[in-house]
Structure 1
Amino acid sequence: MDLNEYLGLFLDESIEHLQAINSSLLKFEQKLDDEGVIDQIFRSAHTLKGMAGTMGFDGIADLTHEMESALDLVRSKRQPATPELIDTLFVAAEQIEAMVDDIANGGKGKRDVSETVARLKQFSNTSEETEVKKASTANPSSTFKCDVYSESVVKQSLASGYNVFVIDVALSEDVILKAARVFMVFERLQSLGDVILSDPTSDELEQEQFETSFRVLFVTTNTAEEVEKSIGAVSEVAAVTVADYAPEVSAEVAVTAIPEVSPVSPAAKEETEQGPVAAAKTIRVNLERIDRLMNLFEEFIIDRGRLERIAGDVESPELTETVERIKRGTNELQSLVLTLRMMPIEQVFNRFPRMVRSVAKDVGKNIKLHITGAETELDRTVIDEIGDPLVHLIRNAVDHGIESKADRLKAGKQEEGNLTLRAYHAGNRVFIEIEDDGAGINHEKVTRIAVEKGILTQEDAALLTPEEMSMLLFAPGFSTAETVTDLSGRGVGLDVVKSKIESLGGEVFVETKLGEGTIFRISLPLTLSIISAMLVQLQDETYAIPLTAIIETTSLKHEAVLQAHREKVFDFRGQLVPLIWLTDVYGLESAESEAYSVVVVRSGDRLAGLVVSQLIGQQEIVMKPLGSYLEGIRAISGATILGDGRVALIVDSNALLRK
């Protein structure tokens, strides 16, 4: 069987289970006696082990097997959870994630995990386990806790002359595929009679959530010797004890009734874990197919624009009506297609709790991470790119933003620092905030370092606003770290963050209050593919300005153009706003006029008026990259194809307003 066709499914499900393990480990660390959390980690590790074993990735299978063994001791109260165990489990999760990443990149998932396996085995103390299992097998009991229904079935069976047995089965210590041996035992039992109950339950037996022994309550017409002989013939069954059932009615329901159902039935497993309704509502779709669908729809949008233009030229009522109906339908289809590309930002946020824990331990700080708005959806293209900038900002907050324990206590704060990661929608944009309750940004120190590094002069520094001082953190080569460490001090980081965010059509802002904390706020577009834009004309050429950047459009008379600080400005609602002639920016001929068409745009807290030759109108456009040959052109973020087949360049207003 070719397993390569299942590789994509293995990777997808492995990532999901790793996320579950990481989030559960963080909860486990806070509450060591939470059995539900331990069970979640155990189930995820068990599933990972099974998938990895099937695919032939032995390193993952071995590591998850030892994680299971250690967790089972904690779950059964035979060993207490220790900080050393928690740290080892985190290391194991990191190593599994590294192996999965290697497999995703075409590797074999090989990694030396012997040290971690040894640490987990040391915790498990297998010799002590063996003694416990031997003791439990040597003293079988003929009683079995039943619920009311099962007790009724047993009484009717005894009254009808059937034999009711409690059967204790012990598998070999070195058994492989325990669930398969259980399945074989149950097959033998089903051929002789009916299984009423099992302990552990059928689900636990099926998922190998037991040591090497289990019990069943069994009804049959055969003798105890016949039952014992039949089960004893199963390979890797070490011991079988068959005893007459002794009633022990208990109000507590200890196990689940499983009349005439095999404990490892694949159909039962699928229905239990997934459920028929969930399976019918959710499917996995290859992202390449969604991208192909998006590309086809983008072509459709371009053709729709051309059809609208033709309808306007022909002036046919029937054609105009048809085009309007097509437009309404495609608007709804556009919303649906864009929704398919949207993904919750949760999958990016999920990597940060473990990272914050690790980095905080490295720098000797106690930091609690709060996450809100993880369900906020973003375009998949943005999701793929936003992870690294967030890593830089979070590491910066942990290393620089939040003070040491001693400094926090000295400032009258709690020893534990708080770091908040939140996401939310606002209009057609998504905002991501990284907020800490640390010391805030010392603007005096920032400007002094900027002057020392030659980023700006002393005279320019004196004219900066607090907001501009904060933005100095994003200058290339800037760092406030006094020593070089693994985390900081090399002058690389925040300038890369700003460049990456702006390449996605986003912006980054900083709010800070000395002694109270800092907020880094990132603004991103919902999607990067189909946007609304204002088409403008510059001489004989057409350009597009995204509507997300536009405040309003206006007409400006020649005499309203003013001069201030050697640049042309105009009065916009009591505020002097600079004017930018786009013809000059893009090297086109410009001419004086009695009146100008102006598009007022915003980038952060800055405003500017873009002077154009003519306003054409609003239109949905498909953004296309310029390609490597043309990338880097100032103030151009891409291009689009118009309805008449011409290419229009898309204006990057953020770049225009950037000093």
Structure 2
Amino acid sequence: MDLSQYLEIFIEESKEHLQAVNDHLLVLEKNPGDLSIVNEIFRSAHTLKGMSATMGYEDLASLTHQMENVLDGIRNEKLTVTPEVMDVVFQSVDDLEAMVHSIADGGDGKRNVKEVVEKLIAIEKGEKIGKSRSTKPLAQLNLEVTSTPQIHSQDYDEFELTVLQQSKEQGYESYEVTVSLREDCLLKAARVFMVFGILEQVGEVIKSTPSVEILEEEKFDQTFTVTIVAKESSTAIQSKVMKVSEVESVTLQAIDFSTMGTPKKAIESIETETSFIQNVQIEEPIDGSPEKKEAASKGKSVGNKTIRVNIERLDVLMNLFEELVIDRGRLEQISGELKNSELQETVERMSRISGDLQNIILNMRMVPVDTVFNRFPRMVRQLARDLGKKIELVVVGAETELDRTVIDEIGDPLVHLLRNAIDHGVEMPDERKRNGKNEEGTVVLKAFHSGNHVFIEIEDDGGGISREKVLRKAISKGAVSEKIASTLSDKQVFELIMSSGFSTAETISDISGRGVGLDVVKNTIESLGGSISIDSVQGKGTTFSIQLPLTLSIISVMLIELGKEKFAIPLSSIIETAIIKKEDILNAHNQKVIDFRGRVVPLVYLSDVFEVPEVLEAGLFLSVIIVRKGDKMAGLVVDSFIGQQEVVLKTLGNYLTTVFAISGATILGDGQVALIVDCNALIR
């Protein structure tokens, strides 16, 4: 039986079950007496074990089985939940995750788990839980083995009856195997396929009720019966079938030929019944309600359906649409030049449709930040135990969505910030107690939308950042002079900790103290077109706030001219555009500035930055674009404004990574290349 077609489903479901186990284990650790949580963990583990065994990954199934034994002891109140027990179970989950990742990378899923298995067995024996679950036959889990002849659930024709009787004479046993799937089973056809595969390995399938066609189309409730002939015992067959994920119960009934009635005359081919193994198709999950089952059987649309799509296909789709955006810009320009009403009408319609298509494609690429956040609770727990601290991680807004390209890059910076909050931010329990705080510190990880940006905040209720300590370190390293240090605001002081090689840690440890981390965080976030700011109150805590764009592929820009060159400035960085008189320009600290709504804003002449020769004669007025980076602003002086446009952001490649203040390029409608200005690099 070829199960390779189900490999991707197996990997995705395994990851989901392991994440569920992780989440529930963290809750169990805080509520050790809640057996309902243990049951949830056990259910996920049991499903994972069945899936692994069915797919042939015996090492994965065996380790999960050993972990089940400990969970079974806990839920039967033969074992108590202690930090030591939880550590071993978490270690088991880590190994299981490594094995699943190995399979996902094309490996065999094998791993040396001797140490953790010995620990799991020791937990069972050391706690004297009596007869462990590993010695308990699988038949005791909602199973029922029956050797006593009962009323048969299937009717047999002459051909089938002859096969059964001849098999009996040759020493084979005939069984009616009744399988019940769980009520919440989604991929019923796939589970039936797996059951048939196992039954074909142990014997020969003779008949099924309902028929194979009905099983393929999922037009049955939860139960089906298969008649097989085999030499293996009923208990062995039952145990193997029970390993299939989402199987609720398995009942085997030996066939008593003395009770057989008159067989039917119609002969059905066994090959037709077993053709299911070759022809089964996985259908989309359907809600289990009777109304929706009926609708599904009639081919009607039912509720919301989802399918898993390889992200590479979305990348290809996005690249094709990016080319379409470029051609759309070209058509709009040609239409404007020709001024043909029919052409303009067609182009406008195409622009509206492509705009809707763009929104759909961008939404398809949006991924909840939960895919990144869900790995942090385990990390925080382990780090807190290593440091001897008590820390509660609160996650808010995990459903907030970001583009996949941003999600891929944001994980490591968040890890650095969380480790920093736990190591440097939250104090030791005894110190917190002396300061009148709760012994358990709190770290809040929050995500939310605001305009065209997503904000991610990491807030702790620790000791905060010491302004004096940071300044002493900065002065000793020569980052700032004592004179300048006295003029810096708190936010400017806090930003010094994100300088390269800067650290206020007294000692170097495995966790921090080498001055590497926050500078990488800052560079990564700014490379994504985002920004990071720090707010801290000594003795109260610190908040790191990250601002990120929703997407990086297609952005809205303001096109401007410098001499004969065109540049694009992202609208996300622009506050407003303005025309100012040259006489309003002031000088402060050898820097040209303007008074913008009561704030002193420095001017940056882009023609000087990019060394563009001047073409226009200097007039009495300047065109200025006010941009911001966090709470800092600057006025970019340009020759003229062209207008707003949506463009495709293309990278400059590996050879041009060090170009100052340019984040990429785009192709305009007339075929010209416009460089995209990195406003963050221009604001110091």
Taking structure 1 as the reference length, the TM-score comes to 0.80
C-alpha deviation, 1:392, in angstroms? 0.3
Q: Secondary structure at the match of 2:152?
A: helix
C-alpha deviation, 1:333, in angstroms? 1.3
Structure 1's unaligned 5+ residue stretches are 134-171, 195-199, 208-229, 239-255
Is it true that 1:62 corresponds to 2:62 in the alignment?
yes
Query: d(CA) in 2 for partners of 1:490 and 1:193?
Result: 73
Query: d(CA) in 2 for partners of 1:121 and 1:104?
Result: 29
Which one of the candidate residues 323, 327, 335 is aligned to 2:359?
335
Is it true that 1:592 corresponds to 2:618 in the alignment?
yes
Partner residue, 2:577:
553
Q: Could you tell me whether the CA contact under 8 Å between 2:148 and 2:253 is conserved in 1?
A: no
Q: Deviations 1:582-625 (Å, cap 9, x if unpaired)?
A: 11111112363322111110011111110111100000111111
Query: d(CA) in 2 for partners of 1:257 and 1:499?
Result: 55
C-alpha deviation, 1:131, in angstroms? 5.2
C-alpha deviation, 1:508, in angstroms? 0.3
Partner residue, 2:336:
312
Q: Could you tell me whether the CA contact under 8 Å between 1:202 and 1:258 is conserved in 2?
A: no
Is it true that 1:191 corresponds to 2:189 in the alignment?
no
Which one of the candidate residues 504, 507, 512 is aligned to 2:536?
512
Q: 1:72 to 1:258 in 2, by over 3 A?
A: closer
Q: 1:179 to 1:340 in 2, by over 3 A?
A: farther
C-alpha deviation, 1:629, in angstroms? 1.2
Query: d(CA) in 1 for partners of 2:73 and 2:430?
Result: 38
Q: Could you tell me whether the CA contact under 8 Å between 2:499 and 2:518 is conserved in 1?
A: yes
Query: d(CA) in 2 for partners of 1:317 and 1:186?
Result: 84
Q: 1:538 to 1:649 in 2, by over 3 A?
A: same
Equivalence map 1:100-139=2 (5 Å): 100-125=100-125
Is it true that 1:625 corresponds to 2:625 in the alignment?
no
Partner residue, 2:11:
11
C-alpha deviation, 1:407, in angstroms? 1.1
Q: Could you tell me whether the CA contact under 8 Å between 2:578 and 2:625 is conserved in 1?
A: yes
Is it true that 1:425 corresponds to 2:449 in the alignment?
yes
C-alpha deviation, 1:318, in angstroms? 1.5
Query: d(CA) in 2 for partners of 1:120 and 1:178?
Result: 23
Query: d(CA) in 1 for partners of 2:149 and 2:309?
Result: 42
Q: 1:231 to 1:580 in 2, by over 3 A?
A: closer
Q: Deviations 1:442-495 (Å, cap 9, x if unpaired)?
A: 010001011112222222222211101000110000111111111011111100
C-alpha deviation, 1:130, in angstroms? 7.4
Q: Deviations 1:339-395 (Å, cap 9, x if unpaired)?
A: 000010011110111111100111111011111100000000111110000000000
Is it true that 1:653 corresponds to 2:679 in the alignment?
yes
Q: Which is worse superposed, 52-61 or 321-330? A: 52-61
Partner residue, 2:496:
472
Equivalence map 1:191-340=2 (5 Å): 191=152, 203=182, 235=233, 237=235, 275=288, 281-340=305-364
Query: d(CA) in 1 for partners of 2:32 and 2:109?
Result: 31
Query: d(CA) in 2 for partners of 1:125 and 1:286?
Result: 45
Q: Could you tell me whether the CA contact under 8 Å between 1:535 and 1:617 is conserved in 2?
A: yes
Letter in 1 for 2:114: S
Is it true that 1:523 corresponds to 2:547 in the alignment?
yes
Query: d(CA) in 2 for partners of 1:101 and 1:232?
Result: 36
Q: Could you tell me whether the CA contact under 8 Å between 1:557 and 1:596 is conserved in 2?
A: yes
Partner residue, 1:634:
660
C-alpha deviation, 1:332, in angstroms? 1.4
Partner residue, 2:459:
435
Is it true that 1:463 corresponds to 2:424 in the alignment?
no
Query: d(CA) in 2 for partners of 1:348 and 1:498?
Result: 18
C-alpha deviation, 1:296, in angstroms? 1.1
Which one of the candidate residues 405, 416, 424 is aligned to 1:381?
405
Q: Secondary structure at the match of 1:476?
A: coil
Letter in 1 for 2:654: S
C-alpha deviation, 1:42, in angstroms? 1.3
Q: Deviations 1:157-198 (Å, cap 9, x if unpaired)?
A: xxxxxxxxxxxxxxx9586x869995985997562799xxxx
Q: Deviations 1:262-304 (Å, cap 9, x if unpaired)?
A: 9xx999x999997468896011111111111111111111111
Q: 1:379 to 1:257 in 2, by over 3 A?
A: closer
Query: d(CA) in 2 for partners of 1:78 and 1:193?
Result: 43
Q: 1:588 to 1:232 in 2, by over 3 A?
A: closer
Q: Could you tell me whether the CA contact under 8 Å between 2:69 and 2:132 is conserved in 1?
A: no
* Count of equivalent residues: 574
Query: d(CA) in 2 for partners of 1:535 and 1:603?
Result: 19
How many percent identity over aligned positions?
A: 52
Letter in 2 for 1:429: H
Q: Could you tell me whether the CA contact under 8 Å between 1:185 and 1:231 is conserved in 2?
A: no
Q: 1:328 to 1:235 in 2, by over 3 A?
A: same
Is it true that 1:644 corresponds to 2:650 in the alignment?
no
Query: d(CA) in 1 for partners of 2:567 and 2:642?
Result: 10
Letter in 1 for 2:641: L
Query: d(CA) in 1 for partners of 2:286 and 2:511?
Result: 42
